Structure 1
Amino acid sequence: MTRPQSPQTPHRIALLFNANKVYDREIITGIGNYLLSTRVAWDLFLEEDFRCRLTGIERFDGDGIIADFDDPAVSEALRGCPLPVVAVGSSYEDETHYPPDLPYIATDNAKLVSLAYTHLIGAGLPHFALYSLPQAPENRWAQQRELAFAGLRAAEGRSAEDIDTEIYRGLSTSAPAWNQATEQLTGWLEKLPKPVGIIAVTDARARHLLQACLIAGIAVPEQVSIIGIDNDPLTRTLTRIPISSVIQGTEEMGRTAAHLLHQMLHGARFPGRRIRVPPVGINVLESTRHQPLASPYVMRARHFIRQYACQGIRTEQVADYVGVSRSSLEEYFRRELQCTVHQEILRHKLDAAKALLAKRDASSAEVAIRCGFTSLQYMYAVFRRELGCTPREYQERTKSTAAPGQA
């Protein structure tokens, strides 16, 4: 039973989420947005990782709970809890995997995978694969994404045996097993037909894929295009090649969960109600900008340029990496891309500079250094020649064209 409330007394609500994960943080953000938009008064109990003190949570002296049910330990701990509880987590093909007596807000795994798959098809890729997680009770959501991928492939006539080779679970990427996990992942990558588009069940898995490709010298996205799920800004910070990612509807999940609990605190009941929330869209970045190329030398050169353009590399260094003469590489570039190697390096520098200027209030001098321009004056000359404006004018232009609240 909930505690008696006066109009001035806020409800005491426990949010059982792992705030170290972007998925959980965005659900919490959605809950917070609901409270701000409705001016609902809740006193929130939240730990960075509640699982450390999960024992006894069913005796929480409060009024309601919103919890991440992807971890079976949470479902077990809250079994028989007398408080109103709203469950949040993965969607399941098998209805028996849902808690039978609770409202449940789910991310739609089938639509997440379908959106990623359709994007890779649109990028012109002929082969597909999925990088998942080892089977475990806490990874049931990942196995649901495997089922969604397998269903899409089966619908296109792929045999069960072929689909098995396209799905790889690998090892858990703990520190002691990191090298072994990367070696085994590299072995799987090398056996896949190229070019191939790979869906990773999380951005963390996508980052591991990218690292394995870089170690093995596999060009991304020319040979392997990678798309993750979560749109985690930390992943983008930690990778030399920005990774495309499906944006989950996590904030909407949080808002919906808060709305249901708000109603339940005033007597409403929704036993067994299921709400699936679709993805928002895709943040398309460099890892899936696949451009079919005939020359392996151009593929390898672009792979190198994509990683090191902002470190001030020169055409000679690219040619040394590829293993051909400068004149031969220039000929391959003119034939395939209708530009010189220097122009391709400069394009990446310019794109990086534009991204920095648009994202935050960075100084032009800082941007010039970070993007590998030899001087601030040279960067100004490149901006005027290519864009018809100075870096500062470009920054002001992007601010003025941003949507309200985003400038």
Structure 2
Amino acid sequence: MSPHRIALLFNANKVYDRQVISGIGQYLTSTRVTWDLFMEEDFRSRTVGIHLWRGDGIIADFDDPLVCEALASSPIPVVAVGGSYADDSQYPANTPYVATDNHKLVRLAYDHLIEQGLQRFAFYGLPPAPGNRWACERELAFKRMIDADDLEGIVYRGSSTSAGGWGRAQEEMVEWVRSLPKPIGIIAVTDARARQLLQACVVADVPVPEQIAIVGIDNDPIAQLLSRIPLTSVIQGAEEMGRMAAQVLHQMLHGGDCSTTRILVPPVGINVQATSLHQPMKSAYVMRARHYIRQYACLGIKTEQVADYVGISRTLLEEHFKRELKQSVHQTILEHKLGIARTMLADSSIPLTDVAIRSGFTSLQYMYAVFRREFNCTPRQFMENVRSH
């Protein structure tokens, strides 16, 4: 029996789309289903000529309005993947739909910020546009949660990202960050927006997370790699969405009527990192110092550089640290470097030498010595212990 020919219309430059595609692949490898998959060579979603395609089925990203329009009258089975809607009329008619649960994504971020003791909240979204309906749904979910708790929520949409307008957009964001009541927790509609917000906080010299705690959505490794401070992010169930979409299409290809099927997939969880771990600080000096340490600890900074940044003497800064954190500036720097190293050791693809360099140790030998002193084990033993659990 010849395999079914299936088209996947996704933009794999986005982590969400890549994970959905990965979930489709997992379904195929875990079953006896055999599909001949069509995707553009550059993994972009293009609808030009899709009506001429003579395949057996399509799985597509319906967050893209052009895709919705192009497939509205498709004669072959189509499974839609996209964001959830509070208004049922927003879903495409007579098309099975697998959705990420936008309400639960925002709820997970919001509850986490509440658990950090925060009482003020904001949302950094996207400007309204046909392709941003999913972002508007997340903003709406945020507003409903704030209203239910009788709180005042601030919404900032900013500008669309473009090279030409980026300078002005960042200036406006810096002004917004400075104008906010503090401390405050901010939910960003994606990790990409969270990274922009984090950059604006750095430029505005606003300590993260003491003054502004940030949570993104996507758990995008690229956004993490490009962020000076590790980013807290909600993990979407995108791979499960891909598996479910493939299962529904498989049923349709074998005569199943799935036209009214609608599946909401909840988030997997939240990857908690430094940007959201809000701790109120009595000393403004300690707050500024820790903000600087989070950005530059892995570049080999010394206590003197931290004191210069804060604008007081090393002795006075040490007194503030001992009083508030019960440890020295050096110990705080080392603690941050060890935290980064431990996170990287959990990833088997990163060589130990790279872990040492990227976490700010001068050599692999020095990292070994510090691990033996602090944890009574070597980095390799620590790594093996983490991966065995």
TM-score bucket (shorter structure): over 0.9
Helix, strand or coil for the counterpart of 1:359? coil
Task: Identify the residue that residue 104 of structure 2 maps to in structure 1.
Answer: 111
Task: Identify the residue that residue 134 of structure 2 maps to in structure 1.
Answer: 141
C-alpha distance in 1, partners of 2:43/2:280? Answer: 44
Which one-letter code corresponds to 1:348 in the other structure? Answer: H
Task: Identify the residue that residue 76 of structure 2 maps to in structure 1.
Answer: 83
Does 2:186 match 1:193? no
- Residues 56-75 of structure 1: pairs in structure 2 closer than 5 A: 56-75=49-68
- Residues 210-221 of structure 1: pairs in structure 2 closer than 5 A: 210-221=198-209
TM-score of the superposed pair, with normalisation by structure 1? 0.92
Task: Identify the residue that residue 357 of structure 2 maps to in structure 1.
Answer: 369
Task: Identify the residue that residue 283 of structure 1 maps to in structure 2.
Answer: 271
Answer whether contact 2:13 2:44 (CA < 8 A) is retained. Answer: no
Task: Identify the residue that residue 120 of structure 2 maps to in structure 1.
Answer: 127
Task: Identify the residue that residue 397 of structure 1 maps to in structure 2.
Answer: 385
Does 2:210 match 1:222? yes
Residue range with higher mean Cα deviation, 229-238 or 264-273: 264-273
C-alpha distance in 2, partners of 1:112/1:156? Answer: 18
C-alpha distance in 2, partners of 1:218/1:265? Answer: 55
C-alpha distance in 2, partners of 1:393/1:61? Answer: 55
Answer whether contact 1:16 1:50 (CA < 8 A) is retained. Answer: yes
Does 2:302 match 1:314? yes
Residue range with higher mean Cα deviation, 32-41 or 360-369: 360-369
Does 2:88 match 1:95? yes
Does 2:248 match 1:260? yes
Helix, strand or coil for the counterpart of 2:346? helix
Does 2:145 match 1:157? no
Does 2:35 match 1:42? yes
Displacement of 1:290 in angstroms is: 1.3
C-alpha distance in 1, partners of 2:115/2:362? Answer: 38
Percent sequence identity over aligned pairs: 63
C-alpha distance in 2, partners of 1:83/1:366? Answer: 50
Residue range with higher mean Cα deviation, 338-347 or 94-103: 94-103
Which one-letter code corresponds to 1:203 in the other structure? Answer: D
Answer whether contact 1:99 1:272 (CA < 8 A) is retained. Answer: no
- Residues 226-375 of structure 1: pairs in structure 2 closer than 5 A: 226-360=214-348, 362=350, 364-375=352-363
Which one-letter code corresponds to 2:300 in the other structure? Answer: G
Q: What RMSD over aligned residues (CA atoms) do the two structures have, in Å?
A: 1.4
Answer whether contact 2:22 2:242 (CA < 8 A) is retained. Answer: yes
Deviations 1:25-51 (A, max 9, x none): 111111111111112000000124444
Answer whether contact 2:177 2:204 (CA < 8 A) is retained. Answer: no
C-alpha distance in 1, partners of 2:123/2:69? Answer: 31
Displacement of 1:361 in angstroms is: 5.7
Answer whether contact 1:314 1:342 (CA < 8 A) is retained. Answer: yes
Task: Identify the residue that residue 33 of structure 1 maps to in structure 2.
Answer: 26
Distance verdict in 2 for CA 1:19–1:139, change over 3 Å:
same
Distance verdict in 2 for CA 1:373–1:270, change over 3 Å:
closer
